[in-house]
Amino acid sequence: MRQVLVNMSWIVNAFENSSGHSEYYLDMQTGDVKFFSPMDFPEHVTVMEKLDKQPDRFIKLPKRDMDFCLKVKQEYASIVEDPYLKGLLEKAIDGQEEQKYRNILMEFEEARRRWYSFENDKYEEFLLDWFRQKGIELIDKPPVNNLEYNKKKK
């Protein structure tokens, strides 16, 4: 399995911010995450085509799937101990209102902090598994010189 040094928080952040209008790529040599928005910057299409032709170096990150996000919210709501908050979150989930879910949590500081930690952990688990299925092991906590480490691991 190929090991790639990364800053895992960058990978999770890219996944969290993914949309139909943008693409994120991981440079497996440097560990950098590259952002492209071809809708806003048509020249990005050419760059992305070049990256797609270098699969040993670049891999396009997956996008968040709404079903997966819903499952994460349901899992979190199931562990919330406060029955009032649990009811509010479950109602927001049933209405499939992502913004309402987050707005509810804005009123509950400790629960909101636990939610963001829970969500990040679930995203990280998903991403580590996704990369593993592609024969790539992501290693967090990059050393000072990622480029040299990743070249040696090829």
Q: In the chain, where does DSSP find H-type helix? A: 8-16, 44-52, 66-79, 83-94, 98-106, 109-133, 146-152
Give the phi and the psi of residue 35 in degrees, each rounded to 5. Answer: -105, 135
**pLDDT of 42:** 83
pTM score, two decimals? 0.84
Instruction: Say what the pLDDT of residue 147 is.
Output: 59
Per-residue pLDDT reduced to its tens digit, 81-110: 999 999 999 999 887 666 789 899 999 999
Residue with tokens 């209102």: 97
123: Cβ contacts below 8 Å, ≥ 6 apart? 12, 15, 16, 64, 72
Q: What is the pLDDT of residue 96?
A: 67
Task: Please list the residues that pair with 138 across neighbouring strands.
Answer: 4
CB burial of residue 133 (10 Å; 0-12, 13-18, 19+): exposed
pLDDT at 80 over 70: yes
DSSP 28: T
What phi and psi values does residue 72 have, to the nearest 5 degrees?
Answer: -60, -45
Q: Find, among 117, 122, 106, the residue nearest to 69 by Cα.
A: 122
Q: What is the pLDDT of residue 100?
A: 87
Question: Percent of the chain having pLDDT more than 70?
Answer: 90
For 108-146, the pLDDT digits (tens) are: 999 999 999 999 999 999 999 999 999 999 999 755 565
Q: What is the pLDDT of residues 20-51, one digit of tens each?
A: 889 999 999 999 999 998 778 888 899 999 99
